[in-house]
Amino acid sequence: MGLSAHDAISKGDKGSPGLPAAVRCTTERTGGRVRSASETCATEDWCYAHARRDRVNVAVANHQFRLAARPVGLCTRDDFSYTEEPLGEPADGEILVKVLYVSLDPAMRGWMNEGRSYVPPVAIGEVMRSIDVARVLASNNPKFAVGDDVVGIFNVQEYAISNGSGVTKVDRKLAPLPVYLSVLGMPGMTAYFGLLDVCEPKEGETVVVSGAAGAVGQVVGQIARIKGCRVVGIAGGPEKCQYLLNELGFDAAIDYKAEDVRKALKEKCPDRINVYFDNVGGAILEAALSRLARGARIAICGAVSQYNNSGPMKGPSNYMALLVDRARMQGFVVFDYAGRYGEAALEMAGWMAEGKLKSSEEIVEGLETFPDTLLRLYTGEKLGKLVLKVAGE
Amino acid sequence: MGLSAHDAISKGDKGSPGLPAAVRCTTERTGGRVRSASETCATEDWCYAHARRDRVNVAVANHQFRLAARPVGLCTRDDFSYTEEPLGEPADGEILVKVLYVSLDPAMRGWMNEGRSYVPPVAIGEVMRSIDVARVLASNNPKFAVGDDVVGIFNVQEYAISNGSGVTKVDRKLAPLPVYLSVLGMPGMTAYFGLLDVCEPKEGETVVVSGAAGAVGQVVGQIARIKGCRVVGIAGGPEKCQYLLNELGFDAAIDYKAEDVRKALKEKCPDRINVYFDNVGGAILEAALSRLARGARIAICGAVSQYNNSGPMKGPSNYMALLVDRARMQGFVVFDYAGRYGEAALEMAGWMAEGKLKSSEEIVEGLETFPDTLLRLYTGEKLGKLVLKVAGE
């Protein structure tokens, strides 16, 4: 017997990017005949189908992170278990994908909590939920062809089988694949709809965004600039603030680690705040509430400062500013806009092409780093979109 | 010399309702001639003018409550001073009014605090701000005639001089005068615009209102019923709850003093809450947030549970329900709708005429009771609109 699929996967196959070792035809599987280069299966689809046709036992091992315990406060390595299981075969209507990039999102911490939310919590023992860029290895679904690059909720693992629901094809010629987890992915959609639909910014208004150097915040600020607003970003540390000012064209930046945010907002928002896009909650939300302009709109996108609290969440004690300033505070969930992702992606891709909108990703290699890399979302040690690279393209 | 105007006012003149003793012509002032009943000055205007023409010194004393100190926590008698001062004469463009009814509103507590709000705070030493029904005694303003009944911010005192700005004529033939401080006054306008404009209730939706037995809450619930909604009122005590159910046609009532509001909302809002009209803040706001339906609208009208806190306000710790439920929370100030009061009054007067909308006032007599009567707003010991009767009609 030659190389088992399991072995091939475990050892990786860095010499053949794009060709998944797991289902690469081996001489054994083709009856000893050695193909010439031109004879090599053109697509993984063919090979996978071939393998199945021949009833070759492709004992592919899949590795994943499962939720082992509900975290109290900040999540730790012990809240996850790293497991291995044989990968099944896609049934009729299903696709098998190889995960290339795992998106690390602040919302993940919320998904680990029990209780009613906008999505069901990840159950104990379940593979941790994530949005990934993946490549189709086998398809029994007419909407997808082998070799397609797709985005979907494939979770924190190497391979996934999906019925194709919520899975979208993406084009690596239009943008590097990680961008589909960033500006052209959920963070970009979140920024786009949260800012434009929920906050309705008008030209000349002052837009403040917290978590400004994060995946969503960067895009919020840039779109607000494109719309002719004055943009003030709140971020942690001089490096991030400089990035906002020098690379992304923000009008002002506030380093919440070094400055009194209330005072700084007073100084940097002389006409008060028309739009506040909140990614963090806590004291920064209160500071923004204390500086609203009349008729202000606040989008509640997240509360990353609060996700890892072991105690109760802190509500904004000055929420009556909403009354004083005739303001509204509105929550939203990007999934509700799924029907309009295409329109948003088109417009944002256009802005990217014009150089008006930048996508910035920080890519960390190795599925096995997942628990530690995830933590960086909450400790603030990253710039832009944090992406885990699981396999080579 | 006969009876001075000051004396006449101080002693009152309960035998002649509608005829202000202060400016009633006396034999002295008319040169000793005793008028027959038919000769008596037909209007106070005539007399007042007469007195002025004759340069009779009408040393009218005006009594008022002034803010003596900024309250800490619940306001007390000592936060006010009861003062007397001679009443001046209205200058060109001004009117002199006699206050008949003083509106007691929860918002008054907020006006006593220092700091930025939707109106400037009442200054120490200033007459306490209030909205009143009053009668025009003298007018140098072509918009008002002597004898007109008017509503305006005349403050907590017996007489006031006003330039007519923000003063509206009301018709006592259409509704009893206290109703112009209730359903046809600020509370009614607050309910009308807060519910219809801010919350946009739709037929069949569940509307929850806190402070439901209060001046605003009663109207909110009744309008929501008129609009075909299922209405749940939250109030303190069985008497108020029975009133909501039996007199005002609410679908359900929750006694927050006797029931666990969260549990009760679960039970009484099986389809969750589409609209929550908040008058109270605090734990009840949190309970409502925990039971929102998707796309819920929350109007922040007041936070009466918090006004007398000496510590910091309590923000809703579960405000992230706004995100989970794609809900919005919006503050508003009724004064912004001043241009549309007429339209609202017309519609509400129509509903009153049809018997669909009831106005309920509790009238307490005597300006001097002001500090104690005001407290009843915050201790919950009242039903409907609390009005102070300062003088007979």
Q: What is the ipTM of this complex?
A: 0.80
The domains found in chain B, sorted by start residue, are 1-57 (no CATH), 60-177+361-389 (3.90.180.10), 186-336 (3.40.50.720)
Q: What pLDDT was estimated at residue A304?
A: 84
Residues of B in contact with A313 (CB under 8 A): 317-320
For A108, phi and psi rounded to 5 degrees? -55, -35
Residue B225 host element (H or E): helix B215-226
Q: Could you tell me which of A134, A104, A122, A92 has the C-alpha nearest to residue A392?
A: A134
Residues of A in contact with B301 (CB under 8 A): 323
**Do residues B167 and B151 touch, judged by C-beta distance below 8 A?**
yes
CA distance B150 to B277: 29
Is pLDDT at A13 greater than 80 in this prediction?
no
- pLDDT range class, residue A59, cuts 50, 70, 90: low
Query: Is the CB of B329 less than 8 angstroms away from the CB of A322?
Result: yes
- pLDDT range class, residue B58, cuts 50, 70, 90: low
CA distance B73 to B385: 23
Query: Is the CB of A319 less than 8 angstroms away from the CB of B336?
Result: no
Q: Which of B286, B302, B312 sits opposite A317 (nearest CB)?
A: B312
Q: Give the amino acid at A147.
A: G
Q: Where are the alpha helices (DSSP H) in B290-332?
A: 321-324
Give residue B211's region: left, alpha or beta (phi > 0; psi -120 to 50). left
Q: Partners of A297 in the beta sheet?
A: A275, A328
CA distance B294 to B272: 9
Give the CA angle between residues B158, B164, B169 to the nearest 5°: 80
- pLDDT range class, residue A223, cuts 50, 70, 90: very high
State which residue of chain B sits closest to A331, comparing Cα positions: B323
Q: Could you tell me which of A6, A18, A13 has the C-alpha nearest to residue A42?
A: A18
CA distance B66 to B82: 6
Q: In what order do the strands lie in the sheet with B292-300?
A: A252-255, A230-235, A206-210, A273-278, A292-300, A328-331, B328-331, B292-300, B273-278, B206-210, B230-235, B252-255
Residues 6+ apart with CB under 8 A from A193: A332, A334, A337, A340, A344
> For residue range B153-192, what is the model confidence (pLDDT) as tens digits?
999 999 999 999 999 999 999 899 999 999 999 999 999 9
Mean pLDDT of the region B190-215: 97
**Do residues A41 and A20 touch, judged by C-beta distance below 8 A?**
no
CA distance A97 to B75: 67
> For residue range A190-214, what is the model confidence (pLDDT) as tens digits?
999 999 999 999 999 999 999 999 9
Residue A193 host element (H or E): helix A186-193
- Three-class secondary structure of residue A311 per DSSP: coil
- pLDDT range class, residue B282, cuts 50, 70, 90: very high
pLDDT averaged over chain A? 86
> Which token pair is A368?
């096995």
- pLDDT range class, residue A379, cuts 50, 70, 90: confident
The CB-side HSE value for A373 (13 A sphere, CA atoms) comes to 22
Q: Give the amino acid at B185.
A: G
Q: What is the pTM of this model?
A: 0.81
Is pLDDT at B118 greater than 50 in this prediction?
yes
Residues of A in contact with B313 (CB under 8 A): 317-320
Please identify which residue in the block is written with the tokens 């400055």. A259
Q: Establish if A325 touches chain B: CB-CB under 8 angstroms.
A: yes
> Which token pair is A287?
């500071």
Strands in A68-152 per DSSP E: 80-86, 95-103, 132-139, 149-152
State which residue of chain A sits closest to B324, comparing Cα positions: A118
Query: Is the CB of A323 less than 8 angstroms away from the CB of B302?
Result: yes
Distance from CA of A281 to the nearest CA of B (A): 9
CB-CB neighbours of A165 under 10 Å: 9
Is pLDDT at B83 greater than 60 in this prediction?
yes
- pLDDT range class, residue A1, cuts 50, 70, 90: very low
- pLDDT range class, residue B349, cuts 50, 70, 90: very high
**Do residues B222 and B347 touch, judged by C-beta distance below 8 A?**
no
Taking chain A, what is the end-to-end CA distance rounded to the nearest angstrom? 28
Query: Is the CB of A323 less than 8 angstroms away from the CB of B332?
Result: yes
Q: How far is CA A359 from CA A34, A173, A279, A351, B60, in A?
A: 44, 16, 18, 11, 75
Q: With 0-12 CB in 10 A as exposed, 13-18 as middle and 19+ as buried, what is B83?
A: middle
Is pLDDT at B47 greater than 60 in this prediction?
no
Is pLDDT at A310 greater than 80 in this prediction?
no
Q: Could you tell me which of B197, B219, B214 has the C-alpha nearest to residue B351?
A: B219
Is pLDDT at B22 greater than 70 in this prediction?
no
Give the CA angle between residues B223, B229, B235 to the nearest 5°: 70
Q: Partners of B300 in the beta sheet?
A: B278, B331
Sign of CA dihedral A162, A163, A165, A167: positive
Is pLDDT at A27 greater than 50 in this prediction?
no
Is pLDDT at B131 greater than 70 in this prediction?
yes
**Do residues B94 and B155 touch, judged by C-beta distance below 8 A?**
no
pLDDT above 90 covers a percentage of chain B that reads 74
Q: Give pairs for A81-90: CB < 8 Å, separation 24+.
A: A82/A368, A85/A61, A86/A59, A86/A60, A86/A61, A86/A62, A87/A22, A87/A60, A87/A61, A87/A62, A87/A159, A87/A161, A88/A161, A89/A52, A89/A58, A89/A138, A89/A161, A90/A138, A90/A139, A90/A140, A90/A141, A90/A161
Distance from CA of B327 to the nearest CA of A (A): 6
Mean pLDDT of the region B238-254: 97
Q: Partners of A135 in the beta sheet?
A: A98, A149
Q: Establish if B111 touches chain A: CB-CB under 8 angstroms.
A: no
Q: Establish if B120 touches chain A: CB-CB under 8 angstroms.
A: no
Q: Establish if B194 touches chain A: CB-CB under 8 angstroms.
A: no
CA distance B8 to B1: 13
Q: With 0-12 CB in 10 A as exposed, 13-18 as middle and 19+ as buried, what is A34?
A: exposed
Name which residue leads in pLDDT, B3 or A218. A218
pLDDT above 70 covers a percentage of chain B that reads 85
Please identify which residue in the block is written with the tokens 């860029």. A133
- Three-class secondary structure of residue B343 per DSSP: helix
> Which token pair is B153?
């911010």
Residues 6+ apart with CB under 8 A from B311: none
Q: What pLDDT was estimated at residue B143?
A: 97
> For residue range A95-114, what is the model confidence (pLDDT) as tens digits?
999 999 999 998 899 999 99
> Which token pair is A197?
């639909």
Is pLDDT at A7 greater than 60 in this prediction?
no
Mean pLDDT of the region A273-297: 97
Q: Establish if A118 touches chain B: CB-CB under 8 angstroms.
A: yes
State which residue of chain A sits closest to B118, comparing Cα positions: A324
**Do residues A167 and A151 touch, judged by C-beta distance below 8 A?**
yes
Q: Which of A324, A327, A332 sits opposite B116 (nearest CB)?
A: A324
